[in-house]
Amino acid sequence: MNNRGITFHLKNPANYLPLLLLPLWILLYRNLHGLTDFFVYDVFNLIKGTHLADSVWFFVFEVPKVLLLLTLIIFAVGIVRSYFSPERTRKALEGKSLFTGNVMAASLGIVTPFCSCSAIPLFLGFIESGIPLGVTFSFLIAAPMINEVAVVLLFGLFGWKTAVIYVITGLFIAITAGWVIGRLHLEKWVESWVYELKAGDHPEDEKLTFAQRIRMGYGAVKEIVGKVWLYVTLGVAVGAGVHGYVPQDFMASVMGDKVWYSVPLSVLIGIPLYSNAAGIIPIVSALIGKGAALGTSLAFMMAVIGLSLPEMIILRKVLKLPLIFTFIGVVGTGILMVGYLFNYIF
Amino acid sequence: MEIKILGTGCTNCKNLEKATRQAVAELKLDASVVKEEDIVKIMGYGIMRTPALVVDEKVLFYGRIPSVSELKEMLSKK
């Protein structure tokens, strides 16, 4: 088993450097509003209330805010995730009945480290140890859709309520879609070699010290923030343009809740559109300010983030085409229902 | 010694290969470094996360990329 004890290596204080940056983080985050005012109105000398000032203010405020939030949360999530592993998740799911298994698989999908390049070994490992296909799908739907980057961006740009709604509806879709796929008994559409595969014995878990876990959190920040900062900047730049220059209620005629076809249309556009959460969420947040409905926007983001073409191509190695289309169909229907529901409620 | 990097060709796997080659060169180890990309063979090692490092058919770690210095420390103990 993993070593959960805390072992401090004080002879190597560099490992704890990230923790010492926390006060600086708080200072910056709390004063961001004032700093932005200072830069936009005093340094750039823009006049408050103009389109240009609005756009620039949005950009100068949102980019550092989102990047600060991402850095802190990804660091924390990186440490938390070092206590979870697909191997342990698999063990927890073994022998669980269909519905309980789906609920657990979707929930564990949020915290278990997952990268789409590991989707195949993970799928094979689950199936090989006898975890039902439907339960495996619940995991494969939740893991990419409910990720920390999406949740942080939703929290930063939409507020905590939307972030919570996204997580809950994402879980709901992962649980029901997995359950439906399980009930349909589609094992015949899994490539036949998958069931003949004989995996080797699982090697012993590495024992990690707390210092190593901190380094893993630090590594996650370097890897993820290093990759998404550009998308965040570009996404917020487009969002800033929309925010300052697009007329109020402009989106109401395309993405508004009065347009019945807006939800299916945004899902259809969202599936082949491959972008990560970092690029798409800032743009959608600006569109909501211009009359786009919350349900429609939510459905669009879920389709873009949760159903990505590259992942389908990876999964094609183990799944036959009819199963991939069923997967897209079932998850797409779930997203559609969520979209209509939220347009109806709000 | 025979070092295998298990991975299906994602960026992380390539990064691990690069770091491993650097560690081997810096330690001046007499080791062969090969990449294993066949998923069926990878599963034979019982792992569910890539990339992984196998030394003389034994899995050393999986699902993460240690720094070159950590790699050197691990490989020199072998």
Tell me what pLDDT residue A16 has: 67
Q: How far apart are the first and last CA of chain B?
A: 9
| Residue in B17, B48, B65 to test binding to A, most A beta-carbons within 10 Å | B48
Q: B74 to each of A215, B12, B57, B71, how far by Cα in Å? A: 16, 19, 15, 5
Domains of chain B, CATH where assigned: 2-77 (3.40.30.10)
Q: Has residue A289 been placed in a domain?
A: yes
> Residue B36 has what pLDDT?
92
Among A117, A121, A206, beta carbon nearest to B12: A117
A302: left (phi over 0), alpha (psi -120 to 50) or beta: alpha
- The pLDDT of A225-240, averaged and rounded, is 92
Cis peptide upstream of residue A272 (ω within 30 degrees of 0): no
Q: Is B59 helix (H, G, I), strand (E, B) or coil?
A: strand
pLDDT attached to residue B20 = 95
Q: Using CA atoms, how far apart are residues B58 and B44, in angstroms rounded to an integer? A: 11
Which residue does chain A place closest to B8, by CA atoms? A117
Range of the domain at A115: 13-201+208-345
A1 within some domain = no
Tell me the per-residue pLDDT of A205-217, one tens digit each, with 9 for 90 and over.
778 888 888 888 8
Give per-residue pLDDT as tens, A259-298.
Answer: 888 899 989 888 887 777 888 899 888 888 888 898 999 9
Confidence class for position A11, pLDDT limits 50, 70, 90:
low
- Answer yes or no: is A256 within a domain: yes
Cβ of B10 within 8 Å of Cβ of A115? The answer is yes
DSSP count for chain A of H helices, then E strands: 18, 0
Average pLDDT over residues A242-261: 82
Out of A136-140, A144-148, A275-279, B18-22, least confident range: A275-279
Q: Give Rg (Cα) of chain A.
A: 22
Closest by Cβ to B48, choosing from A86, A117, A216:
A86
Yes or no: say if A279 and A312 are a contact pair by the CB < 8 Å rule.
no
Out of B1, B8, B9, B10, the active site residue is: B10
Q: How far apart are CA A118 and CA A301, in angstroms?
A: 23
Residue A5 lies in a domain: no
CA distance A172 to chain B (A): 26
Cβ–Cβ < 8 Å for A170, A143: no
Nearest to A332 by CA among A145, A177, A139: A177
Residue A6 pLDDT greater than 50, yes or no = no
What pLDDT shows up at residue A104?
96
- Closest Cα to residue A246, out of A290, A296, A297, A293? A290
Residues of chain B contacting A121 with CB distance shorter than 8 Å: 8, 39, 42-43, 47-50
pLDDT tens, position by position, B2-54:
999 998 877 888 899 999 999 999 999 999 999 999 888 999 998 888 889 99
Q: How many domains does chain A have?
A: 1
Strands B32-36, B52-55: parallel, antiparallel or unpaired by DSSP? Answer: unpaired
Partner B contacted by A121 (CB < 8 A):
yes
* Mean pLDDT, residues A114-132: 87
Residue range A298-331, pLDDT digits in tens:
999 999 888 888 888 889 989 999 999 999 999 9
The single residue listed with the structure tokens 């401090």 is A8
pLDDT score, position B67: 85
Helix-, strand-, coil-residue percentages of chain B, each rounded to 5? 40, 25, 35
ipTM for this model = 0.83
Mean pLDDT of chain A: 87
Confidence grade of residue A155 (pLDDT, cut at 50, 70, 90): very high
Interval A168-192: pLDDT, tens:
999 999 999 999 999 999 999 999 8
H/E stretch holding A138: helix A133-145
pLDDT bin (cut points 50, 70, 90) of residue A2 is very low
Residue B57 among the catalytic residues? no
pLDDT over 90, % of chain A? 49
Identify the closest residue of chain A to B61 by CA–CA distance. Answer: A206
Determine the Cα–Cα distance for residues A114 and A119; give it in Å rounded to an integer.
Answer: 8
